[in-house]
Amino acid sequence: MSWGFPVVMCLYIPTETSSPTSHLHISSLLSAQSMTAAGSGSFQDGRIASKRLMMLVALLLVSCCLGHGFGDEDYVEVEGIGSNCMESERRALLAIKSDMYDPDNWFSSWTGKDCCGWRGVACDHTTGHVTKLDLRYPYTYELWDMFNDGETIGVSKVNPSLQELKQLKYLDLSMNNFSHAPVPKMIASLVHLEYLNLSYAMFDGPIPPQLGNLSNLQYLDLQGWYGYHLHVDDLDWLSRIPSLKYLDMSYVNLSKATNWFYIINSISTLEVLHLIYVDLPYVPSPLPPFNLTAIATLDLSSNSNITSAMLRWLSNATSLENLLLSGCGSLTIESVQVALGALLNLKKLDLSDNSLEGEIREILNNGMCADVMGISGGDVPI
């Protein structure tokens, strides 16, 4: 008599905790029971053998499928709706954690298998890849005090395992103490990044041009600090980031980046630009046609080479809402009048710490500027 058994197929991927002996034992029993059923002439014996065989098949199914995953040992099943944590990326995160200063037990949630639920970590619920890593240090004291007291915060390092998180879209390492270390070039390998914040992280030295490989970036904050000598000699790499909307390179020395004006002007998607105290090089006339058609906030404070020609050029920035030119020194009232007269959407204006002489009352009285800062700091009557 022939017997029909349900066929169950399960792919077994060995892991470090698997026991080859136990699986071999189950397979041997399965073969023995099959031969018993085939060789017996007893109907009752055949039924018993059939039941035993089906139980063993079920046991094998539970062992290989539930105990070891469905064919991909790099996934760890976790709780949550559609949430999976890549085991290789979980290990990478733990390596990153090992090099981060953590006096307040910030990483206390970084335990267990569900790395997608760890503080500062987010995953793609479909693929399980880590897509967000927010390691911004949550300071509770004044920033100035922190930078004047070298013992306030311990030293952290950027662990090489960071480059294993290949699907990252969001990375924030700001406010940590990387103690004069250079900005790691390996960050440039994270080509899916859309958000990168390295501000106030006590990096030093040249900003690597390899960051131009991050062509998907929309937000880039490289803001430095006094005493930490971040610098850029050529900004050509910025032109390879065509969708950039937010750029802050304040306190980064740009004195040798003679192409800064032309490169910045080529990024038509820019909405926010902060270049405070960067020692901008002089830009000779004639200036290129205005291309920053989306610019809403422009902060060029504490730069001495802001010329009248540049302010006249800015009169084309009809989308501009916030203009901050504090401490620029070389501004003239005539050039300010030309720019302000055309910036009909301007809401905030900072001209503090400039030696301006003249009158801009008529321009300001048209109600276009809701927040005027520092006008009384110069000799400009309003």
Q: pLDDT tens digits, residue range 250-270?
A: 999 999 999 999 999 999 999
The count of domains in the chain is 3
pLDDT score, position 99: 97
Picking from 44-48, 283-287, 308-312, which range would have the lowest pLDDT averaged per residue?
44-48
Closest Cα partner for 201 from 218, 180, 170?
Answer: 180
Residues 344 and 277 in one domain: no
Structure tokens at 308: 């009248």
pLDDT score, position 329: 81
Q: What is the DSSP string of 160-208?
A: GGGGG-TT--EEE-TT---TTPPPPGGGGG-TT-SEEE-TTS---EEPP
Residues 236 and 106 in one domain: yes
Domain around 21: 1-73
Q: Are 63 and 72 in contact (CB under 8 A)?
A: no
pLDDT score, position 338: 80
pLDDT score, position 333: 82
Is 39's pLDDT higher than 80?
Answer: no
Q: Are 97 and 135 in contact (CB under 8 A)?
A: no
Domain boundary residue, one of 245, 262, 291: 291
Residues 118 and 250 in one domain: yes
Residues 283 and 353 in one domain: no
User: What is the mean predicted confidence (pLDDT) over 234-261?
Assistant: 97
Q: What is the pTM of this model?
A: 0.75
Residue type at position 178: F
Per-residue pLDDT of 155-193, as tens digits, reads 999 999 999 999 999 999 999 999 999 999 999 999 999
- The CATH number assigned to the domain holding 373 equals 3.80.10.10
Domain boundary residue, one of 73, 104, 122: 73
Give the mean pLDDT of the chain.
Answer: 78
pLDDT score, position 66: 36
User: What is the mean predicted confidence (pLDDT) over 64-77?
Assistant: 37
User: What is the mean predicted confidence (pLDDT) over 27-33?
Assistant: 39
Above pLDDT 90, what percent of the chain?
A: 57
Above pLDDT 70, what percent of the chain?
A: 68
